[in-house]
Amino acid sequence: MYWIWTLIVGAIIGAIAGAITNRSGSMGWIANIIAGLAGSALGQALFGSWGPQLGGMAIFPSLIGAVIVVAVVSFIVMRVTAKK
């Protein structure tokens, strides 16, 4: 049950990060989960585990990390597709 909550919270965090960066339209739900989980790991590594936690993730550092991940990935994808 823990992993299900982790995936659900990761998807929500990824979707919120996509909405903040205006990149949610180009990302599917699998990319939202991946961005949420990767952003959670990055955010908690950089900023610690402060604030409320849900599904084993600190919400605010995870959201900040997911915004960073979505912004960097979308920048890289735009650069690669622009060169074609």
As a whole number, the mean pLDDT across the chain is 82
- Mind listing the pLDDT tens digit for each residue in 6-25? 888 888 888 888 888 876 55
Q: What is this structure's pTM?
A: 0.80
State CA 75 to chain mean position distance.
Answer: 15
Q: Which domain holds residue 44?
A: 2-82
Distances, alpha carbon 22 to alpha carbons 8, 16, 17, 18, 69, in Å: 21, 10, 8, 6, 13
Task: Count the domains in the chain.
Answer: 1
Q: Say which DSSP state 51 is in.
A: S
